[in-house]
Structure 1
Amino acid sequence: MNTKNKKSIEPNIAELGNGWLKSYNLPYRLEQESLNAEIDNALNDYHSKRGGVGANRPDTKLLLQDEQLNYYPILIEYKGYKDKLVKLDSQNQVANKNAKNEQLFGNINSYAVNGAVHYANALLHHTSYTDIIAIGMTGYKDERNKIVHEIGVYYVSKSNFGIGQKVGEYSDFSFLSKKNFQSFIEKIKTLNLSPEEINKLKEQREREIDASLVKLNNDIYKNEKGLGESDRVYLVAATIIATLGIPGKVRPLEKSELKSSDEQGYRDGDIIVRKIKSFLNEKHIPQEKKDFINRAFENVLLAENLNKVTNGDGESQLKRVFTKIIDDLGIYYKINLTTDFTGKLFNEMYSWLGFSQDKLNDVVLTPSYVASLLVKLTRVNKDSYVWDFATGSAGLLVAAMNEMLNDARATITSPDALYQKEIKIKAEQLLGIELLPSVYMLAILNMILMGDGSSNILNMDSLVDFTGKYGFGDTSQNFPADAFILNPPYSAPGNGMNFVEQALGMMNRGYAAIIIQGSAGSGKAKDYNKRILEKHTLLASIKMPIDLFIGKSSVQTYVYVFKVGEKHEKDEIVKFIDFSNDGYTRTNRKKASNNLKDTDNAKGRYE
């Protein structure tokens, strides 16, 4: 339909919708009116940062509470044309972004639901609200001059990664009235995404994260002078922790709270440090670990140069970098992605390091699908005790934690028992050791983001200082490991087999899965391997694709699977599996929106 020649009846549609709200005695606010400062700031910010012609605030907004006193922002966008309710993409999702992760402002400005979902994402990105109702309504006058209207109601939350799910069919707004609102909330709680939908959304969001990280890192690298690699890592970690918030206890730090003042105690760094301290206090992290984290952040955040107002617009460099990080990444770490978020961050940050720092370049992130394969090969379930002796950004432990939590949710039917088990998994059933302080900080951050299994992430040398005991909690107890996962630094003695010998020597039972350089099967590693096989059985050797770590290194890797505590007998049959064609096609193009493509049933092969 050509809308150019038709006159919009948006005022009539707005009058109809707002008339319903008035008749239900609901406290709605119009476009220019304030709902509350947190929501107003988020909407203003999102609009000013995201551009687009004609984009504005939602036409009508409300803040309603359910019987449990949880708040739900309701954002309503009106249009006045036929066929302008919603624009969906080929996946049947609200089409607000293209394949390159760019906003489709044409859709956001022209379609009622698309506009409302866009604003709902602003709230997910910049406020502590995690569940938002986005409503679009449009209509036209038929040949008898009668208004014909249609309504789209979508639920936008961190549980559906901010994409938005259609709730149902509605002919008016009475589902918002006091007598109906609770049953409407019960209905949205039953909206479930299928595992396939969840995986698709996760992949889409992960691609977006990659694009945002590259953009952010390029920006900081080019425009923010005087920041070393580890400074950048700490600044990103500090910004994320300061803006996470804890519902009802710690408010997320907002950009507007950084005033770039020179007054001691009120500089931008002081404000961020205070917010991090209150966050960590509420997290009940062991005191020793809190002290370590606070010291590390203070060293960077309180530096004079970062807090000094240098440019013409009266901002400190710290505020500028803080703002860039929130604008580019805010949405991703608030929507419950179980991806190895800081691992991606870590790879991107260290991709700038030259070969002069080869030691750091030796630290390579395990792709999430490989991490999940290692976890499955060690038969991890809800009762496993999993450790990693070169934990990096904790990607392998995140994969293990997800597997353990999924098993617990699938097998425990009592909500109370499940809650206790989830706490135990995160606090007592995972242990990781990392030597490099800036990488250790990323591992802690990763576990905090994923729901906090950070209790026993230790900053030490696993080969020299670690005795096999818990690092926090009951430190007199040995950690009863029965699953060992590892992607060691390949420059270590025996290509990293020294870590394997050490860890297996501290275990009495269970399984181990290690991704290792091909030459670890011979040469320098031979002596380690002989000693390992005198006590443990090699079950399988899986040849992985040569380009698995494309962009970082192109070494041939294998996954070795061991059974712990049983000598490898001469007649023991080892499975040799050639998995060098895993179904993925990898490229290493800096500007590509997706360097990993499933071209030959890769997912099925990994399953």
Structure 2
Amino acid sequence: MSKSIEPNIADLANGWLKSYKLDYKLEQEPLNIEIDKALSDYFTKNGGVGANRPDAKLLLKDKNQNYYPILIEYKGYKDKLVKLDANGQVDNRNAKSEPNFKNINGFAVNGAVHYANAVLHHTSYTDIIAIGMTGYKDEAGKIQHEIGVYFVSKSNFGVGQRVGDYSDFSFLASANFEAFVDKVKTLSLTQAEIDKLKEQREKEIDASLVKLNNDIYQNEKGLGENDRVYLVAAAIIATLGIPNEVPVLEKDELKSHTYVGGRDGDILIQRITAFLGKKNLPTEKKELIIRTLSNTLLTENINKVENGESQLKRVFTKIVDDLGIYYKIGLTTDFTGKLFNEMYGWLGFSQDKLNDVVLTPSYVATLLVKLARVNKDSFVWDFATGSAGLLVAAMNEMLIDAKNTINSPEELNQKEIKIKSEQLLGLELLSSVYMLAILNMIMMGDGSSNILNKDSLIDFDGKYGFGNTGSNFPADAFILNPPYSANGNGMNFVEKALSMMSKGYAAIIIQNSAGSGKAKDFNQRILKKNTLIASIKMPIDLFIGKSSVQTHIYVFKVAEAHHKDDVVKFIDFTHDGYTRTNRKKASNNLKDTDQAKERYEELVNLVRFGKSKLSILSNQEYYEGTIDPKNGADWNQTAPIDTKPSLQDFKRTVGDYLAWEVSNILKQQSKIGESLGK
């Protein structure tokens, strides 16, 4: 391989920076405390902990006083500018969603984007410019160089977007920087790209959660199941911060002192109290959160100091290092749902009560939301909210609809606030799960106001829990994955919720026996006031690893009695296009192997518009029929098999018979011919 000309490339590029009179810093020089600390905290390009040193770095400010860290990495070989993956993204992760150090080390842009993620992860900066430059000497000994400029931001989940073509660094000069920032601001991702990046990041979250949980499980003794959940919740809340109000808690602020008031647990509780104090939550909710977390954070064992460090500091550091980037870049995913499933998966519980808490996969949550026809003006509630995954999915759908239909930025901002504070309500009885729901909605941007720690069947009167406490919540969309051990497999929740609604739609996922006899009485009463629109049979392995019950989704039109001639759409969706596995070490246990996304889209359209939307699914999988509203046990029908032979069948049978006859005659003749020949 030819000799690297990296020193020549660095000399050329740094010469440009000098000529633009920019205050740039080289590899060993400090830039500012926050960025330098982030780079040294982040795993090095080769893995492990240590110093990360971009070849050059600077901090530039635009006219609105927004700062942009600029991180530059040089290489000195031809074709070593950037390595992209099959999707055209900077390829810094391998198939297992772990850092791909070969690419990070070997390519200029990949290294710069890696550094940019360190800054995104560990500082308050949300928009970073990553620049890679490489080159070689041609036959005449002249340097040929190429430059890659990428925008790494919270808005693109840290993956990075290419900005444009540049032949030098003059876009950084003060005269040109504003125009460059304007160009960066016009970079936007399509919804399909956002979904793809989210999917990619979610795989990484899964890998990180497994790693973190394995670590805590094996190395941290004396922590009960709830302690782990509360520790993660506390670490996340303390490190979210509120700009200009409550600073992010840094790892080195935990000094592992032993006096009351100065212990690591005390410091965490102080920061969490300050954070919640700025969040406009009801006083009793704040007190409940602080009391619950204090029971774990202030125990003697977790604050005991060994080798100069408490167990709490050690676990806090692991959580921030492994998970920090995912919640700091604002992933609107059911983050705590993943967390919850991972945590409880490790514990191997046998108690029925906890086995009953099975969280809905995010793509199924989105399906329920679409079947319930949720839009920006919906008022959505969930009577067994778990970690709030269904409400997060509803909120995402509402925010996307608002963004697509409201053109005024000011009006959009007001609508987003209203969606989060007034248009979602959830009820959860189990206190550890309730804490997860609150954390999830706080992380998703404060949709936690009306998450209530109440028994929805006994204690809930249909009113707001916060804000308009005297008013009824005007629900017009109901989504639910109930505990299947409840009466009628959970249809008791459905009856209660629908009885409190005057319009709208409902979509519930429930054990299939609820529709074939187990909930007969509930179903008869429900149909007196509501119409069953669709009954969808879901894959048996939908909740693989958690539960193997057969589930159905039932979709209702609310406040309109079911008539015996009303058409019900019966859909067999057991082949949904996904292949699921339950391997602990698999990088991805859910694979789209047969047009899964398109199938889910078709399913929503079939339920809403009927048979005209039938395309991928077969006639055997879609059947329109009727039910007897007084029966209550005939909800799980399938397309009848036609046993009457058609003319085509008759022709085929006759054809087969004649072919057999001819074949026999020919064989006979052949035998006669053989015997005559002898």
Aligned to 1:170: 166
Cα distance in 2 between the residues matched to 1:68 and 1:285: 32
Amino acid at match of 1:513: A
Cα distance in 1 between the residues matched to 2:348 and 2:49: 42
Amino acid at match of 2:508: I
Aligned to 2:624: none
Contact 2:44 2:51 in 1 (8 A): no
Cα distance in 2 between the residues matched to 1:353 and 1:507: 39
- Note the C-alpha offset of 1:78: 1.3
Which of 595, 615, 626 lines up with 1:601 in the alignment?
Answer: 595
Contact 1:72 1:131 in 2 (8 A): yes
Deviation sequence 1:570-596 (CA, Å, 0-9, x none):
222211111111111111111111111
Tell me, what secondary structure is at the counterpart of 1:408?
Answer: helix
Aligned to 1:72: 68
Cα distance in 2 between the residues matched to 1:348 and 1:165: 31
CA RMSD in angstroms, aligned pairs only: 1.6
Inter-CA distance 152–407: structure 2 relative to 1 (3 Å threshold): same
Tell me, what secondary structure is at the counterpart of 2:9?
Answer: helix
Structure 1, 441-450 or 596-605: larger mean CA deviation: 441-450
- Note the C-alpha offset of 1:53: 11
Matched, 1:237 2:244: no
Cα distance in 1 between the residues matched to 2:401 and 2:90: 32
Deviation sequence 1:110-130 (CA, Å, 0-9, x none):
211111001001111111111
Cα distance in 1 between the residues matched to 2:594 and 2:477: 31
Matched, 1:322 2:316: yes
Aligned to 2:81: 85
Aligned to 1:307: 303
Aligned to 1:499: 493
Amino acid at match of 1:516: I
Aligned to 2:634: none
Gaps of 5+ in 2: 602-678
Matched, 1:110 2:106: yes
Matched, 1:453 2:447: yes
Tell me, what secondary structure is at the counterpart of 2:347?
Answer: coil
Structure 1, 289-298 or 299-308: larger mean CA deviation: 289-298
How many aligned residue pairs are there? Answer: 601
Tell me, what secondary structure is at the counterpart of 2:119?
Answer: helix
Which of 124, 130, 133 lines up with 1:128 in the alignment?
Answer: 124
Aligned to 1:44: 40
Amino acid at match of 2:464: Y
Correspondences of 1:374-523 after superposition (within 5 Å):
374-523=368-517
Cα distance in 2 between the residues matched to 1:346 and 1:355: 13
Deviation sequence 1:529-577 (CA, Å, 0-9, x none):
1111111111111111111111111111000011111111122221111
Inter-CA distance 552–47: structure 2 relative to 1 (3 Å threshold): closer
Cα distance in 2 between the residues matched to 1:141 and 1:572: 77
Cα distance in 2 between the residues matched to 1:369 and 1:15: 51
Amino acid at match of 1:475: T
Amino acid at match of 1:555: V
Contact 1:387 1:483 in 2 (8 A): yes
Inter-CA distance 52–83: structure 2 relative to 1 (3 Å threshold): farther
- Note the C-alpha offset of 1:55: 7.8
Amino acid at match of 1:404: M
Aligned to 1:278: 274
- Note the C-alpha offset of 1:194: 2.4
Amino acid at match of 2:56: T
Amino acid at match of 2:529: K
Inter-CA distance 445–100: structure 2 relative to 1 (3 Å threshold): same
Contact 2:45 2:111 in 1 (8 A): no
Matched, 1:142 2:138: yes
- Note the C-alpha offset of 1:503: 0.5
Correspondences of 1:509-588 after superposition (within 5 Å):
509-588=503-582
Contact 1:350 1:361 in 2 (8 A): no
Amino acid at match of 2:363: Y
- Note the C-alpha offset of 1:142: 2.4
Amino acid at match of 1:597: K
Tell me, what secondary structure is at the counterpart of 2:43?
Answer: helix
Deviation sequence 1:66-113 (CA, Å, 0-9, x none):
111111111011122222211222222211111012222122112111
Contact 1:54 1:109 in 2 (8 A): no
Contact 1:55 1:109 in 2 (8 A): no
Gaps of 5+ in 1: none
Percent of residue pairs bearing the same amino acid type: 78
Cα distance in 2 between the residues matched to 1:274 and 1:55: 31
Question: Of the two, which has the highest radius of gyration?
Answer: 2
Contact 1:408 1:422 in 2 (8 A): yes
Inter-CA distance 468–49: structure 2 relative to 1 (3 Å threshold): farther
- Note the C-alpha offset of 1:436: 0.8
Deviation sequence 1:279-314 (CA, Å, 0-9, x none):
22222223222222111111211111111113x3x2
Tell me, what secondary structure is at the counterpart of 2:183?
Answer: helix
TM-score, length-scaled by structure 2 = 0.87
Amino acid at match of 2:430: L
Cα distance in 2 between the residues matched to 1:475 and 1:582: 42
Aligned to 1:372: 366
Cα distance in 2 between the residues matched to 1:382 and 1:357: 40
TM-score, length-scaled by structure 1 = 0.96
Inter-CA distance 260–55: structure 2 relative to 1 (3 Å threshold): closer
Aligned to 2:177: 181
